[in-house]
Every structure is written in structure tokens, then in C-alpha cells.
């Protein structure tokens, strides 16, 4: 039913513009996760600085989407599915902005780590983890823009894989710390990077929960399950 146009064409235009701006912000955030991780793994300071500066663009895009949300609320007073979409995007942009902050954290570890560290097995895991996290974040944005519960469920399913990557990086980094304490700063930095990536995955999960709210009208918390201590 939602595909039917509004009687007021400018309402459709407003919602479409909002979706477009949100998609753009999502692309920027997901891309910066990749760029920051590539810079980290290559210990490329110039690339890391680019990623850090791009966070300012992400912040500006975040403000723009929020302004568009207010605009649509003010001009059209949306209700029902339309209201849930605007509120969903308004919540989701905060997650994207925070994901951008975590990407910046990853890039900062290039600057704060003293010189290139010896390559470790967990670098491969970090690379794969970053690929999965960036893809999942993009998927969550697509799920919201297209209001696809199927894609949202894929995002939710990825969360366990992302957590498993983080655990693997942690185990390897802690083992390396014991074996090679001279590289402690680099090993600890890997822990922080894996944690940042895991948090970005959590933000993708939050966005996917918004999609379920959007489609069902059920608050996001209702889709979570208790799983003991984590």
C-alpha cells in the first residue's frame, strides 16, 4: 500500500529527498569505515588524515538529514507509516554519525601508533571484519530506504559473525601481547580497532531494528532476545 503516491506530490518529493540524503550519509559512513581500516592496516598517515577529516563531512550530512526530517514533519505532519519512516530515519542518522566517529577512532590509531607494527595474523581478520562491517552498515541503510524487512534480518544475522571476528582478534592480540610485549602498543591498538568495528556493527543492528519498527509498528526492543552475559 505504501507504494501509492500521496495526493500531495510535494509530500512524496519531501520523503524521497529524505531517503536520498539518508542514503548519501550511509554511503559516506560505510565508505569511511573501509578507508579508515585500510589506512590503519597500511599505517598510512595521509590516508588516515583524510578519513579523520571526512568525519566532518559526515557530521554535516548528519545535520542536513536531521534538518530535512524536521522540514518534513513541519510541512506535512506525517502519520502512520510515513511518521514511522521519518522517525526511523531521524533515529538511524544518529547511528550513522556514531559509526562515523568510530571510523575516525580507527584512523586515529594510525597517528597514535608509533611506527608501523609487524604484520600479524589478526590483521587479516581485521580486514575481513571491516569488510563485513562496512557491508552490513550499507545493507542496513538500504533496508531502511527500501523498507525491506528481509535485508534488515540479514543485518541482524551478521551481528553474531561480527562479534565472532572481534573475539578472534581479541584472542590473537592477547596471545601476541604475551609473546611479544615489545609490540604492546600495536597489539592494544588492534583491540581498540576491533572494538570500534564491533560497535559500528551494533549501530547497523540498531538501524535494522528501526526497519522492523517501520514495517511492523512494533518498538525495536521487542525484537531483542536475552542471551545471558556477553
Partner 1 sequence: MTDTTTTLDQETRHQAAPGFERAEMPPAIRPATERDPLRARIEDFSFYYSNGFQAIKHVDMPILDRKITAIIGPSGCGKSTLLRSLNRMHDLYPGNRYEGKVILEPEGENLIGPDADPVLVRLRVGMVFQKPNPFPKSIYENVAAGLRVRGIKKRAVIDEAVESALRRAAIWDEVKDKLHGSAYDLSGGQQQRLCIARGLAPNPEILLLDEPTSALDPIATAKVEDLVQELSETVTIVIVTHNMQQASRISHRTAFMYLGEAMEFGETNQIFTNPRHPRTENYITGRYG
- Binding site residues, partner 1, CB under 8 A: 1, 4-8, 11, 77-84, 217
Q: Closest separation between CB of residue 4 and partner 1, Å?
A: 5
Residues 44/106, Cβ–Cβ less than 8 Å: no
Distance in Å, CB of 76 to partner 1, minimum: 8
Helices marked H in 43-79: 45-76
Closest CA to 186 of 127, 112, 125: 112
**Nearer to partner 1 among residue 17 and residue 131 (C-beta):** 17
Distance CA 70, CA 76 (A): 10
- Could you tell me the smallest distance in angstroms from the CB atom of residue 212 to partner 1? 13
Cα–Cα distance between 1 and 198 in angstroms, integer?
Answer: 36
Nearest to partner 1 of 116, 217 (CB atom): 217
* C-beta of residue 215 within 8 angstroms of C-beta of residue 147: yes
Shortest Å, Cβ 78 to partner 1: 7
Which three cell numbers mark 121?
Answer: 595474523
CA pair distance 173, 47, nearest whole angstrom? 24
By C-beta, is 9 or 178 nearer to partner 1?
Answer: 9
Specify the residue, 33 or 85, whose C-beta has the smaller distance to partner 1: 85
Taking the least distance from each CB to partner 1, the nearer of 5 and 228 is: 5
Cα 97 to Cα 95: distance, rounded to the nearest angstrom: 5
Tell the smallest beta-carbon distance from residue 85 to partner 1 (Å). 10
Amino acid at each position: 500500500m505504501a507504494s501509492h503516491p500521496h495526493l500531495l506530490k510535494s509530500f512524496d518529493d519531501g520523503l524521497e529527498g529524505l531517503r536520498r540524503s539518508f542514503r548519501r550519509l550511509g554511503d559516506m559512513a560505510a565508505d569511511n569505515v573501509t578507508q579508515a581500516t585500510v589506512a590503519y592496516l597500511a599505517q598510512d598517515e595521509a590516508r588516515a588524515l583524510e578519513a579523520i577529516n571526512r568525519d566532518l563531512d559526515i557530521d554535516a550530512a548528519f545535520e542536513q538529514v536531521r534538518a530535512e526530517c524536521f522540514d518534513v514533519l513541519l510541512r506535512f505532519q506525517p502519520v502512520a507509516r510515513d511518521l514511522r519512516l521519518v522517525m526511523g530515519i531521524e533515529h538511524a542518522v544518529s547511528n550513522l554519525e556514531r559509526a562515523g566517529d568510530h571510523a575516525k577512532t580507527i584512523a586515529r590509531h594510525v597517528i597514535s601508533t608509533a611506527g608501523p607494527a609487524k604484520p600479524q595474523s589478526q590483521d587479516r581478520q581485521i580486514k575481513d571484519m571491516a569488510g563485513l562491517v562496512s557491508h552490513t552498515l550499507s545493507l542496513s541503510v538500504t533496508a531502511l530506504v527500501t523498507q525491506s524487512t528481509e535485508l534488515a534480518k540479514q543485518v541482524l544475522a551478521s551481528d553474531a559473525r561480527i562479534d565472532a571476528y572481534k573475539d578472534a582478534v581479541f584472542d590473537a592480540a592477547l596471545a601476541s601481547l604475551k609473546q611479544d610485549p615489545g609490540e604492546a602498543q600495536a597489539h592494544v591498538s588492534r583491540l581498540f580497532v576491533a572494538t570500534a568495528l564491533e560497535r559500528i556493527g551494533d549501530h547497523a543492528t540498531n538501524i535494522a531494528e528501526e526497519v522492523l519498527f517501520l514495517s511492523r509498528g512494533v518498538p525495536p526492543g521487542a525484537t531483542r532476545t536475552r542471551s545471558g552475559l556477553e
